[in-house]
Amino acid sequence: MEALLQFQLQLNSTLSFSSFLHPHNHRHHFNFKPNKPHSKTCYHPLHSPTVPISTPHTPPSFPHPSFLFPFLRFSSHNKNPNLAKSIHATLLKNHEIHHLTTALISTYINLRLFSYAHRLFLSQSPPNIVSYSALISAFSKSNREKQSLFLFLHMITVSSLRPNHYTYVAVLTACTRILNLQFGLQLHAAVIKTGYLKSVFVSNALMLFYSKCGFYKNAFKVFDEMPERDIASWNTVMSCAVQEFMYDDVFRLFCDMLVIDGLKVDYFTLSTFLTACAASGLLMEGKQVHAHAVKVGLEDELNVGNALIGFYTNFGDIDDVVCLFERMSVRDVITWTEMVRVYMEFGFVDLGLKIFDEMPEKNCVTYNVLLSGLCRNAEGLKAVELFIRMVEEGVELTDFSLSSGINACSLLADYRVSRQMHGFAIKFGFGSNVFVEGALLDMYTRCGRMVDAEKMWEELEEVSSVVWTSMMCGYARNGQPREAFSLFHLGHSEWKLIMDEVALTSMLSLCGTVGYHDMGKQIHCQVLKFGFHSNVQVGNVVVEMYFKCGNVDDAIKMFSGMASTDIVSWNTLISGYLTHRQGDRALEIWLKMQEEGIKPDDITFVLIISAYRQTSLNLVDDCRILFNSMKTVYHIEPTSQHYSSFISVLGHWGLLEEALETINKMSFKPSAFVWRALLDGCRLHKNTMIGKLAAKNILALEPNDPSTYILVSNLHSSSGRWDCSERTRENMREKGFRKHPAQSWIICRKKMHSFYARDRSHQQDKDIYRGLEILILECLKVGYEPETSFVLHEVEEHQKKKFLFNHSSKLAAAYGLLMTKPGKPIRIVKNILLCGDCHTFLKCASFVTKRDIFLRDSSGFHCFSDGQCSCKDQCTTSLFTLKIVYKKGGGICFHIDVGLKQILNLHHEHILVPMLSHLVTQRLPPQCSTQCQIVAPKPFSSWVTLSSSLASYAFSKQQISQTTTQCLRA
């Protein structure tokens, strides 16, 4: 302190700032503020003003420049720019600046006075390697990376100075920050040539550069060639292994670091290892790392604590995360922000908002995490309010902030607000930001404003991967798959855009939606090519795509080969089996999940409850037990979705009264989804009374939904109440509602072809209808008979047949048979339920053409092969009917549905057989075999035994006549 005092006195006595600031005195001058004139008595700022300090009358001699080094360090350490400027001025006054130029440059850099450092550097003649290295490093760390590279080139070309290891580290840092791969590769060559690859610091910088650029193999190679390594080297290479999803190598490297080099782990090592454990699903290993952190005293390290929160969050252990957070003695803004993210990720919006309000300090990242979390939880209004608050409080807005705000507007689907947000983005200078442009395109497409989206697309100066992905998703979202695939081909083939995770998942999802199997396989190859095969989200979408395209084997293979899975993966697998009507397999997966201790979520229960609708046996009792255990065992409160699935199961098995009773006992008001599930069961079993009650409640809840009117109209039509059906449709027309038309599509030769009923718009319509006529004739020969009961219009019989022959699924099948090679399967997608007549027709078509036909409707898959369907006719046959299956000609099986409403309570064979004989007298074709097989409905176990005796019963016209007479006499 005494030395500092003495130095301040010398400055006050010898420095004349007026002469220093004069433009003629120095070539380079600085904007220093002049000191006040000396008085005879001055007061040192560190002393009390009551103690005068006498100023000597004779100016002291200037000390040696080395005497000023400690004061420069003091200025740098205490962030005192005025002291540094005073030293600089003193050196200039006494013409001793050349002694401490490099030290002054370093001081100015540490004080972040980069302009001062740069001016001083330019005044140096000539600059030395230390000055160059210091300034290059300063530019690299102050977002002036290009200036850093330019200065490096100037050093080696103009000044002809040879870089040292400090210089290489600084330049590599600049290349890393701007991801300049070409310059970095040249630097690597120069490092090898000059022999600095042996430097630990240079090798570490090279590894970091390659890891940031995504060239992990190069980073591994540099690491293997290092003669000496420090903890930073091991941390960098382990971080590379995590980025490359090489989790086994992370564990091996961790052990090698401890054994080979004998290094002690630091907080970065533990954080990296915890990230690897979380990503690879290794809960026990992560807990061991946690124990090791406690043992070596690193658990209280902020970075380790934050990594532990992320680790337990990944495994869904919200209780452990909260406990860890409350136990942390020190928390920073990152810790609080991580807790906000955790609560938002688990859907606890209120708790997330509470933590946010309790935060002692917030930054823009905190606001962004909360904003994006609200968007993920579909809290559009709260997200918009938060964005407005950010603007009012002057929070720094980034492109991420604005993108999240735009996404919030997308959730509201408010066109006026979306236009205002677009104007706001332009006003704040983000109009040309690629991420904001992508969010704006996404917003317009979600609001249904495809015209505005296309206009904005055409006005873009440059097409990036972000806006390309947003536009493709917009087309897919608004029912324009052709435009989406066309844009995909343009971006991939002509513009050479790089596909990111979002683009890949979006296109895979679209391929699954429209059933584009070949394109889905090609995009799966792109997933493997770009290294996304270990990404859980991408893997889930690939599994879903294969299931939706009818390729069960590849879907299971993909699931089995995934490096790690989450609950979404298991839900996707169960959903895929349900799409293919394999309820028994779905229940097997559920048992496997329980064995492996996988915690289900609410979506899991929706799927598993639905699986009981598609089982081979009536397992309604098991479904009841599962539904009741949700709250008591799994602590999941049943929602409308769960009740809807349960009502659907009861309705499917004919328990409509129990379904209605369950709805009446619900603890909250039933939603339209619940009543619609009941209405669907009434449609299947033709129960008009309960169906009318369900329809009445649906219309009260959703009076503007046209699909409800269609369901009610179809229910009346199937029951023969044509007048009620017509009144319902007339009411629908008066309200201005339009029926969403049935549509079927098929992809041939990389193009999607759509068909509507009686569609004549296709350019090959003549060939299609001619081929369909031939196919119908061939099917009629083997016993196909149009089932006119599926025509829900009161018209003449011959008109009903004409309507049936021109259904969209038949047109798509005919086109597929014409345009594909013999033996190749046909894949069709239909946007609504397949009618019973088309179902029978496609069974016949698969038999006469010897082709497999895969059709996916709104209920799932139908796989037609050799006259049979994988759904086993469950979707077209009521449980209150018996199927009489007979063989004919080439051995194909057909069935005739016989209503059993009047004989449900007849369980005696001597009464049942004659009654059935009477019912089928007029329905067996004359050329059929006399041997018939009667298959009883599944729910009635007593009939299963009965059907075995009826299976061998021989029906002939004489026997039918005799048994009918006996029945009538009885």
| Residue 785 tokens, joined | 């008979």
Half-sphere exposure of residue 765: CA atoms within 13 angstroms, side-chain side? 12
Q: What residues contact residue 408 under an 8 Å CB cut-off, 6+ apart?
A: 371, 374, 375, 380, 383, 384, 387
Answer left, alpha or beta for residue 297, where phi above 0 means left and psi between -120 and 50 means alpha: left
User: Residue 777: what pLDDT?
Assistant: 92
Please state, in angstroms and rounded to a whole number, the distance separating the CA atoms of residues 401 and 408.
11
pTM over 0.75, yes/no: no
* Tens of pLDDT, residues 923-969: 444 444 434 444 443 333 333 333 333 333 333 333 333 433 333 33
Please state, in angstroms and rounded to a whole number, the distance separating the CA atoms of residues 446 and 453.
10
User: Residue 340: what pLDDT?
Assistant: 92
User: Residue 100: what pLDDT?
Assistant: 58
User: Residue 902: what pLDDT?
Assistant: 31
- Does the structure show a pLDDT above 80 at 441? yes
- Does the structure show a pLDDT above 80 at 692? yes
Of residues 912, 840, 910, the one with CA closest to residue 873: 840
Range 191-205 average pLDDT: 87
User: Residue 943: what pLDDT?
Assistant: 35
Q: Grade residue 370 by pLDDT with cuts at 50, 70 and 90.
A: very high
Residue in this structure with the two tokens 């530019």, named with its chain if needed: 139
- Does the structure show a pLDDT above 60 at 522? yes
Q: What residues contact residue 478 under an 8 Å CB cut-off, 6+ apart?
A: 445, 448, 450
CA distances from 534 to 223, 237, 254 (A): 24, 19, 21
User: Residue 111: what pLDDT?
Assistant: 62
- Does the structure show a pLDDT above 50 at 21? no
Could you tell me which residues are beta bridge partners of residue 892?
Answer: 888
Half-sphere exposure of residue 662: CA atoms within 13 angstroms, side-chain side? 24
Range 812-834 average pLDDT: 91
Task: Give the distance from CA 67 to its chain's centroid.
Answer: 63
**Burial (Cβ within 10 Å: 0-12, 13-18, ≥19) of residue 292:** middle
* Tens of pLDDT, residues 211-232: 888 888 888 888 888 888 888 8
- Rounded (5°) CA angle 124-130-133: 105
Please state, in angstroms and rounded to a whole number, the distance separating the CA atoms of residues 827 and 918.
41
Please state, in angstroms and rounded to a whole number, the distance separating the CA atoms of residues 616 and 747.
33
User: Residue 887: what pLDDT?
Assistant: 42
Range 309-325 average pLDDT: 84
* Tens of pLDDT, residues 637-672: 999 999 999 999 999 998 999 999 999 999 999 999
- Does the structure show a pLDDT above 80 at 835? yes
Q: Grade residue 106 by pLDDT with cuts at 50, 70 and 90.
A: low
Q: What residues contact residue 556 under an 8 Å CB cut-off, 6+ apart?
A: 573
Residues making up the chain, counted from first to last: 970
- Does the structure show a pLDDT above 90 at 877? no
Q: Identify the three-state secondary structure at position 883.
A: strand
Of residues 542, 526, 464, 458, the one with CA closest to residue 497: 464
What percent of the chain is modeled with pLDDT above 70? 74
**Burial (Cβ within 10 Å: 0-12, 13-18, ≥19) of residue 293:** buried
Residue in this structure with the two tokens 């005068």, named with its chain if needed: 52
How many other β-carbons are positioned within 10 Å of the β-carbon of residue 878? 16
Range 278-299 average pLDDT: 83
Computed over every residue of the chain, the mean pLDDT equals 77
Residue in this structure with the two tokens 């109009």, named with its chain if needed: 431
509 close to 546: Cβ distance less than 8 angstroms = no
Name the range with the highest mean pLDDT among 116-125, 200-209, 646-655.
646-655
* Tens of pLDDT, residues 468-487: 988 998 998 888 888 999 99
What percent of the chain is modeled with pLDDT above 90? 24
- Does the structure show a pLDDT above 90 at 746? yes
Q: Grade residue 121 by pLDDT with cuts at 50, 70 and 90.
A: low
- Rounded (5°) CA angle 469-470-471: 90
- Does the structure show a pLDDT above 50 at 64? yes
